[in-house]
Amino acid sequence: MTRPGRQPARRRGVGPRRETLLATVPVAVAALIGAAGPTAADTTGAPGAGDPYFPLSGNGGYHVRHYDLTLRYETSSRHLDGKAVLTARATQDLSRFDLDLTGLQVTGVAVDGAPAAFRRVGQELVVTSRHTLRTGRDFRVAVAYNGTPKPVTDPDGSADGWIPTDDGAFVAGEPQGAMTWFPANNHPKDKASYDFTITVPQGSTAVANGVLLGQRTAHGRTTFRWRESQPMASYLATATIGNFKVERYSTDDGIQVYNAVDPREASAAAPVLKQLPSVLEWESKLFGPYPYRSAGSIVDHAPDVGYALETQTRPLYDAAPDLHTLVHENAHQWFGDSVSLTTWKDIWLNEGFAVYTEWLYDEQHDGDSAQETFDALYARPASDPLWAYPPGDPGSGKNIFGAPVYQRGAMALHELRKAVGDGDFFRIVHAWPTVHRNGHGTTAQFVRLAEQISGKRLDGLFHTWLFANGKPNSA
Ligand code: TRP
Ligand code: ZN
């Protein structure tokens, strides 16, 4: 049953709060980098992708087309050995460009096979190529690195990235954590395909995204090879390691399912995971064909984490999920994974849709109607945190996983539904992931699409529900 306000897999505020520190560090680092060479702006890639909430996430001057990651993890010592080979395309002439990487030790960088100079400035790995890389040309950058990966603490106090567990690691990168385990152009604006080769102690399983190409055991270690050939944002990559029970099958639609479950969570997880094919089929009817060839679940036992993540093709759960969480994370395969953000400010496009999918699931499976769920939330007083800030403009990275984004974001969709009627509403939520499949979408584009399909002016409605401060008046 729907209980408005529940956020089963999204409990927050786990780690220590480090807001002050985090607020000042990026500014200082940006100043440092700026001081190092604004004069060379012509051939220097920017240290950030221009995201107001995470100014140093991502970089300028190139797009990554493919990541080839070779990792070796020693669970007992928590040591990671990595090699990343990125195939990228320059979008400007580049004598110098940045990757994002935090912690760890870099032992060598090569560009197109030639050793390149590098230095570390905060989360920026600054690479100076021997030759200027020309606009429009592909280049390869190889980075060798190692060390003990540490999660990053987000502005809201939660930890993400490489999070060690008692039997491996829970690897979840939203919004910033990919850079704790591989050098990346760490912003969802830049999607790429991925190959993973992950070596772990024999008996452990390493689970990444996409399809399993093979696994081989020798000398007490097992190497897993995974491939995600569809474009993927860096935060959706995983390389989760643990002692897992593995289940594999294909759905009637030919989707390859790979479930990895920590035995401690197995009995609680089983009845929910059993529903995955029917949930995907139901979501495919609403939103169009499932965007990927593979699917599944990683059910870890990670009691300190406090959230689940929609890792592409294979959501990652910190414990056995309930059915709502399974529905939510798999809805993200359309909303967030296939249709990606261009700015974290638009996060409601991910979370509002995933939550509204839960409401629709209840409505269509003998639970509360979406209207009932809406009404229960709307009954909250104007002082409730639900109305603390508008979902379309959460104000800072600290707020991107809050109730206004999740619940009020879903309420905005429900208001849209009431305004345009069920026929057009379901056409809109089907068209959105179809038109932007494997790409990106912005709030402005969503509003335009809704207006086109419905033939109605909706700027007032979206202003009220996405952008206005305080509790809106309901239509
Ligand atoms: N996007 C996740 C979900 O809604 C939640 C999430 C991922 C999260 N990383 C986080 C929540 C960090 C808080 C902090 O399923
Ligand atoms: Zn979500």
pLDDT digits (tens, 9 = 90+) for 124-179: 999 999 999 999 999 999 999 999 999 999 999 999 999 999 999 999 999 999 99
Q: Write down the CATH number for the domain with range 344-467.
A: 1.10.390.10
Our answer on whether the CB atom of 351 is closer than 6 Å to any ligand 1 atom is yes
Our answer on whether the CB atom of 331 is closer than 6 Å to any ligand 1 atom is no
pLDDT tens across 253-297, in order?
Answer: 999 999 999 999 999 999 999 999 999 999 999 999 999 999 999
Our answer on whether the CB atom of 338 is closer than 6 Å to any ligand 1 atom is no
Atom of ligand 1 minimally distant from the CA of 174? 9
Phi, psi of 418 (to 5 degrees): -65, -35
Atom of ligand 1 minimally distant from the CA of 336? 1
Atom of ligand 1 minimally distant from the CA of 158? 14
Is the pLDDT confidence value at 38 over 70? Answer: no
Q: Residue 308 C-alpha to ligand 1 middle, in angstroms?
A: 6
Structural domain spans, the chain:
27-331, 344-467
Our answer on whether the CB atom of 310 is closer than 6 Å to any ligand 1 atom is yes
Position 5 confidence tier, pLDDT thresholds 50, 70, 90 = very low
Nearest to 357 by CA among 256, 284, 436: 284
Is the pLDDT confidence value at 32 over 80? Answer: no
Atom of ligand 1 minimally distant from the CA of 9? 15
The average confidence (pLDDT) of the chain is 93
Our answer on whether the CB atom of 308 is closer than 6 Å to any ligand 1 atom is yes
Contacts of 241 (CB under 8 A, 6+ apart): 73, 75, 167, 168, 169, 171, 198, 200, 204, 205, 206, 207
Stated pTM of the model: 0.92
Indicate which ligand has the atom closest to the C-alpha of 175.
1
Q: Write down the CATH number for the domain with range 27-331.
A: 2.60.40.1730
Ligand 1, atom 2, lies closest to the CA of: 309
Atom of ligand 1 minimally distant from the CA of 406? 4
Our answer on whether the CB atom of 318 is closer than 6 Å to any ligand 1 atom is no
Is the pLDDT confidence value at 22 over 70? Answer: no
Check: CB of residue 348 under 8 Å from CB of residue 412: yes
Q: Residue 28 C-alpha to ligand 2 middle, in angstroms?
A: 31
Position 42 confidence tier, pLDDT thresholds 50, 70, 90 = confident
| Pairing mode of beta strands 124-133, 94-100 | antiparallel
Our answer on whether the CB atom of 174 is closer than 6 Å to any ligand 1 atom is yes
